[in-house]
Amino acid sequence: MGTAGSRTGRLEPMAFGVTYTEAPTPSFLFDLDGTLIDSVYQHVIAWRSALSAIGIDLSVWRIHRRIGMSGGLFVSALLRETGRSLSKAEIDQLQQAHAEQYRAQLDSVTALPGARELLDALTDAGVRWAIATSGYAATARPALALLGLPDDTPMVTRDLVRRAKPDPDLFLAAAAVLGVEPRYAMVVGDSVWDLLAARRAGALGVGLMSGGYGREELERAGAYRVYADPAEMLARIDELGVRTDQG
């Protein structure tokens, strides 16, 4: 179908074209750990230390496969594998021990390559975005400084929703904070749990391999596109429908 240029240079449907409601510019809902900051293995080590302290020894790879889930589901899944059982109070203490072990490693956590530049580019292009993480505010909010972001950056943490990933609550809440419909948003995450939550939220999923999952795993979980890290995503941002040239 033909199009006609407006005085602003933007293309518009010709007078005889179909009348339709134009879709809004895509918004982005970012996971945090392994997506914007290089912290997955610090979390793995923190969980391993916390579990070892109560006599549960698990291989690092088993812990890594669960990173990205809510803390409660994470612990339940690992306990199922070991045949152990813990009370609600003991699980709460275990999660607190993990948080303490993780905070002790904060000095080794850095922003992933291209993370700052990607967020800056989206902001400059007028694209709305927010962060949605299964982490609690106490461990997640310090990441804002790593990314050079202000304290009022839109961020939804585990404290603010009923359930975390793989439930969709975090991404639904982040979309609500931005005032956008989830179907017009893209979830960017590094784990299969992010992508499962994205599908349940009705959003398109984009996978990053910077958290340790492979391309095929992320694609099977529903990723529309998979990139190595935020830097590659920025370099190929046009594949996600973002027009940085406003054309």
What is the secondary structure of 86-106 as a DSSP string? --HHHHHHHHHHHHHHHHTTG
CATH class of 41-107: mainly alpha
Q: Is-catalytic flag, 152?
A: no
From the list 31, 38, 169, 194, the catalytic residue is 31
**pLDDT averaged over consecutive 10-residue blocks of the chain (247 residues)?**
45 66 89 96 92 86 81 74 78 87 93 97 96 92 95 96 93 97 96 96 97 95 97 96 72
DSSP result, 7-71:
TTS-EEE-TTSPP-PPPPPPEEEE--BTTTEE-HHHHHHHHHHHHHTTT----HHHHHTTBTB-H
Q: Give domain 23-39+110-240's CATH architecture.
A: 3-Layer(aba) Sandwich (3.40)
From the list 33, 167, 169, 190, the catalytic residue is 33
Q: Report the candidate in 210, 189, 213, 211 with the shortest Cα–Cα distance to residue 201.
A: 189
Residue 77's CB is within 10 A of a number of other CB atoms, namely: 13
Domain spans of the chain, in order of start: 23-39+110-240, 41-107
Q: What is the pLDDT of residue 4?
A: 44
Q: Is-catalytic flag, 245?
A: no
Which strand ranges, in their side-by-side order, compose the sheet holding 27-30? 155-156, 129-132, 27-30, 185-189, 204-208, 223-227
Q: What is the pLDDT of residue 16?
A: 59
Cβ(206)–Cβ(233) under 8 Å? yes
Q: What is the pLDDT of residue 94?
A: 86
Q: What is the pLDDT of residue 15?
A: 56
Beta-carbon contacts of 61 under 8 Å, excluding residues fewer than 6 positions away, are: none
Residue 199's CB is within 10 A of a number of other CB atoms, namely: 16
**Residue 114 DSSP one-character state:** T
Residues in the chain, overall count? 247
